[in-house]
A and B are shown apart, each in its own frame.
Chain A
Amino acid sequence: MSDQENQASRFARDMAANAEKMFKATQLIANTRDEDVNIGTTPKHLVVRRDKVELFHYEPMAAATAKTPVLLAYGLIGRYTMADLQPDRSLVRSLLSKGLDLWLIDWGQPSRTERWLTIDDYVDDYIDAAVDRMAQETGHDKVTLLGICEGGVFTTCYAALHPEKVKNLVITITPIDFHADVKDKAAHHGFLNVWTRSLDPEDIDKLVDTYGVLPGEFMSSVFSMMTPMRSLTKYNVDLIDVVDDEAKFMNFLRMEKWLADRPHHPGEAAKQWLKELYQENRLVDGSFVLSGRQVDLKSITAPVLNVFALDDHIIPPDCSRALGAKIGSTDYTEIPLPGGHVGLFVSSKSQGKLSQSIADWLVARDTKPESEV
Chain B
Amino acid sequence: MSEKEKSAGADSDPSLEWAKLWQTMAESSNRMVEAWSGSMAPFMLARLSEKPVGFGDGNELSAAIERMAQGPRVADAWDIDRKMALVFGAWIEMRQRLASYNAVAATPWAEASKRFFETVSAAGTSETPAPDWRAAFAKWSEISNEELIRNQRTDGFLQAQKELLQAGLQLRSRQDDVAEAASTMFGLPTRKDFDDVTRQLTELRREVRALARQARDRKIEGAQ
Q: Which residues of A contact B (CB under 8 A)?
A: 3, 7, 10-11, 14-15, 18, 51, 112-117, 121, 125, 187-188, 191, 194-195, 198-200, 203, 206-207, 210-212, 215, 217-218, 220-222, 224-225, 227-233, 237
Contact = CB atoms under 8 A, between A and B. Distances in A.
Nearest to A240: B134
A210 B169 contact: yes
Contacts of B159: 198
B149 A228 contact: yes
A229 B148 contact: yes
A165 to B, nearest CB: 13
A15 B32 CA distance: 31
A217 B30 CA distance: 12
B198 A125 contact: no
B203 A195 contact: no
B198 A115 contact: yes
A112 B32 contact: no
Complex A-B, nearest 9 residue pairs according to Cβ-Cβ distance, in ascending order? A221-B32, A198-B158, A116-B202, A228-B148, A229-B145, A229-B141, A14-B133, A206-B169, A116-B199
Given A7-B130, A121-B206, A237-B137, A199 B162 contact: yes
Interface in B129-185: 129-130, 132-134, 137, 141, 144-146, 148-150, 152-153, 158-159, 161-162, 165-166, 169, 172-173, 176
Given A7-B130, A11-B133, A116-B198, A207 B149 contact: no
Interface of B: 22, 25-26, 29, 31-32, 35, 126, 129-130, 132-134, 137, 141, 144-146, 148-150, 152-153, 158-159, 161-162, 165-166, 169, 172-173, 176, 191, 194-195, 198-199, 202-203, 205-206, 209
Contacts of B149: 187-188, 191, 228
A372 B134 CA distance: 57
A116 B158 CA distance: 29
- Residue of A112, A221, A222 ringed by the most chain B CB atoms within 10 A: A221
B139 to A, nearest CB: 11
- Residue of B159, B165, B173 ringed by the most chain A CB atoms within 10 A: B165
A191 B133 contact: no
Contacts of A15: 133
A188 B149 CA distance: 6
18 contacts: A14-B133, A14-B134, A15-B133, A112-B194, A116-B199, A117-B202, A187-B149, A194-B153, A203-B162, A210-B176, A227-B145, A228-B26, A228-B144, A228-B149, A231-B29, A232-B26, A233-B141, A237-B137
